[in-house]
Chain A
Amino acid sequence: MTTDIIMPQLGESVAEGTVVKWLIPQGGQVEKDQSLLEVETDKVALEVPSPATGSLTEILTQEGETVPVGTLLARLDSQTTNENHVAVDQDARTIAPPASMSSPGAEHPSPAVRQLAKEHAVDLTQVTGTGTGGRITKKDVLNYLAKQECAPSVTLDSEKDGAGHRTAPIHEEIVPLTPMRQTIAERMVQSRQISAHVVTFFEMDFSSLEHVRQRQRLTYLPFVIKGVTQAIHAYPILNSSWSDTGIVMKQEIHIGIAVALDDGLLVPVIQHADQKDLTALSKEIADLAYRARNKQLRPEEVQGGTFSITNHGGTGSLFSTPIIHQPQIAILGVGAIQKRAVVIDDTIVIRPMGYLSLSFDHRVIDGATADRFMSKLKDELEHEQEEISL
């Protein structure tokens, strides 16, 4: 009878092996347990003994070939049977479903079906169930609602609101407004109405900053904050607010940082940011962000900012036109830092680059001032390394 020679599994993690050498030529005779071939894997190199006595009738995998474990390497015409062959019953096991799966009961709709029916005032006795045992599924309710939507009906007029739109929305769900959502909505619209928003974009080379940052194991943000405070020192008008009697120049620099929450946004404030070193800034950012996310900020910690920063690049965004946090006069957006090919000294080089955007209030600041501020910031960030030592 024929015995199959297969690539053995030589080690728990090994998936493939290489045939190094056939020690018996095709057609040659081999004794049981006599070395038949040399095999090498990621873990070992060893000789494979023959499973039976007989003649090697057919070599299917040539020397130097790498094949998965279990691959048929050769056939042996043998006098004894091969005991190693393992037959696995493919249907050996099935997962037994929980009892509730087999007898769902059409009269007990699932939580999702009940919720949907309640939201859309659906009479479930009108819905045809297509699930097991005639059970109404969520899909059945959605299909029912979709049909209601399309069906021409004499009652349609009564369902219309003043604008002629239908009041009952289909495939929609009302998520109640959280107090935070309401506040964000009001403040954003309000800011758009108050300030004359203009945005200017600068591209920056982060390579030297990246170097320093890596060495000190800090994020970009403390550096950006430091750069902003230095640029504000050069152009203090960025740290001001509008009033009808005149421009209010703020003496202190308190930087707000936008922290995304699961269900909104908070802008905690780093007080006197210009008086703190990178380590202190870094710690305070981590602390404020952590507590913002865990709703542990005190009210005074989200007030009193004089300039804000939003790191929209954290979620992959390149440019943005952020909305000014009133009554401030500007907000800086930090885009994603990506390696790009740039031309420096007529040579194409790869540099970590990022776009920074400044939304500013044109009532107070003109474009040239904003750009000078950004140039100063760019200069600070691009020449970071020499000034910092730990």
Chain B
Amino acid sequence: MEISKPEFLQLYYYLLLTRAVEERVTVLYRQGRIAGGVYTSHGMEAISVGYACALQSDDIAAPFHRDMGAFLVRGITPGEIVAQYLGKRTGPTKGKDGNVHLGDLNRGIFAFVSHLADNLPVAVGAALAFKLRGESRVVVTNTGDGGTSRGDFHEALNLASVRKLPVIFFCNNNQYAYSTPLHHQMAIQDVVERAKAYAIPGEIVDGNDVAAIYLMAQSAIQRARAGGGPTFIECKTMRMHGHSEHDSAKYVPRELLEEWKKKDPILKAEQSLKQLGYVDDVELLEVRKRVEKDIEAAVEFAEQSPLPEGPETLEGVYAETLVEVLA
């Protein structure tokens, strides 16, 4: 499969935007302006940007916290994300939740919970709804190498495979679950081994190659849409920052980080774009400038947004149900 210039430029824009949003949020965090924790996808942006760009507008993404790119691609604005981090009323959770814990059904993206792999059965359920109604929509979900040791991961894969549901499971294998290296998490070399037990076709892809991820997601999505059932895609990558910005990650060997720095997904995308003859340096600069402007506007929007007021705490515990309302 070939990747066209507009497709690749879109991927590139979202790679840059993802990194810029997260870098800006990290700066705000270090300035003491963010009350809670900051979790970034630094160095792993290609995964969620790649799979999210392969979705159609009525598909569903059920991401986890290393998937900032998916939120942006699905149309959550940088301003909303900064507002979310700042606890503002204009964030998608109106201050009820922080960091990347956000979602919007209208934009086809689920909010995840901190309990890793909880989002997988939920993604399977959305796929079940599509299958029940005979719709050709698909769901893409993602979790880390750490999440694949949880029961929900296995229950989700099994259920999806038994009923051939249109769901694609990504795994961001960034080598560490918080501080625990892969070899203390599982006795296998490749996470993709786990898919075999459920008879789900498994693939391994370079997690820093946005074009490869995009193309692989496309073919898995196509197969799912056609009734072929789930696919498992392991993306090999490296977590370049700590588990969160308060974690210096001293447990990760420096040499490993140095080695992976050379494989940075943005560098890689720029090299490919040039090799394909799609862009020159001037055009790349233009994209960077566009991203810078977007970020400036986002921060301004978020800073000018109001904070919620205390009593708003009480709102929204229950969804309203229409009942006879009159006396």
Tell whether any CB of A sits under 8 Å from a CB of B in the complex: yes
Chain A interfacial positions (CB closer than 8 Å to B): 217-221, 257-260, 265, 282, 285-286, 289-290, 309-312, 314-315, 334
Chain A residue with the shortest CB-CB distance to B325: A289
CB pair A257–B322 under 8 Å, yes or no, is: no
Number of residues from B at the complex interface, CB < 8 A: 7
Chain A residue with the shortest CB-CB distance to B311: A296
Chain A residue with the shortest CB-CB distance to B327: A260
- Smallest CB-CB A-B distances: 4 pairs: A260-B327, A311-B326, A289-B325, A314-B324
- CB of B323 within 8 Å of the partner chain: yes
CB pair A259–B327 under 8 Å, yes or no, is: yes
- Can you list 7 A-B pairs, Cβ within 8 angstroms, ordered by A? A219-B322, A219-B324, A219-B325, A282-B322, A286-B325, A311-B327, A334-B326
CB pair A258–B325 under 8 Å, yes or no, is: no
CA–CA, A197 to B321, complex, Å? 37
Q: Mark B138-149, 1 if CB is under 8 A from A, else 0.
A: 000000000000
CB pair B322–A286 under 8 Å, yes or no, is: yes
- CB of B320 within 8 Å of the partner chain: yes
**Cβ–Cβ < 8 Å partners of A312 in chain B:** 327
CB pair A285–B327 under 8 Å, yes or no, is: no
CB pair B322–A310 under 8 Å, yes or no, is: no
Q: Mark B303-327, 1 if CB is under 8 A from A, else 0.
A: 0000000000000000010111111
**Cβ–Cβ < 8 Å partners of B320 in chain A:** 286, 290
CA–CA, A221 to B322, complex, Å? 11
**Cβ–Cβ < 8 Å partners of B323 in chain A:** 219, 286
Closest Cβ–Cβ distance, residue A264 to chain B (whole Å): 10
**Cβ–Cβ < 8 Å partners of A258 in chain B:** 326-327
**Cβ–Cβ < 8 Å partners of B324 in chain A:** 219-221, 311, 314
Q: Could you list 15 further interchain pairs (A-B, Cβ under 8 angstroms) beyond the known A217-B322, A290-B320, A290-B325? A: A219-B323, A219-B325, A221-B324, A221-B325, A221-B326, A257-B325, A258-B327, A259-B326, A259-B327, A286-B323, A310-B327, A311-B324, A311-B326, A314-B324, A314-B326
Chain A residue with the shortest CB-CB distance to B320: A286
CB pair A315–B327 under 8 Å, yes or no, is: yes
**Cβ–Cβ < 8 Å partners of A220 in chain B:** 324
CA–CA, A282 to B322, complex, Å? 8
**Cβ–Cβ < 8 Å partners of B322 in chain A:** 217-219, 282, 286
Closest Cβ–Cβ distance, residue B26 to chain A (whole Å): 39
Given contacts A286-B320, A290-B320, contact A310 B326 (CB under 8 A): yes
CA–CA, A334 to B323, complex, Å? 16
**Cβ–Cβ < 8 Å partners of B326 in chain A:** 221, 257-260, 285, 289, 309-311, 314, 334
**Cβ–Cβ < 8 Å partners of A290 in chain B:** 320, 325
**Cβ–Cβ < 8 Å partners of A289 in chain B:** 325-326
CA–CA, A218 to B325, complex, Å? 11
B322, B323, B326 — most chain A CB neighbours (10 Å): B326
Question: B135-188: which residues lie under 8 A (CB-CB) from chain A?
Answer: none
CA–CA, A289 to B327, complex, Å? 10
B322, B323, B324, B325 — most chain A CB neighbours (10 Å): B325
Closest Cβ–Cβ distance, residue B314 to chain A (whole Å): 9
**Cβ–Cβ < 8 Å partners of A314 in chain B:** 324, 326-327
**Cβ–Cβ < 8 Å partners of A265 in chain B:** 327
**Cβ–Cβ < 8 Å partners of B325 in chain A:** 219, 221, 257, 259, 285-286, 289-290
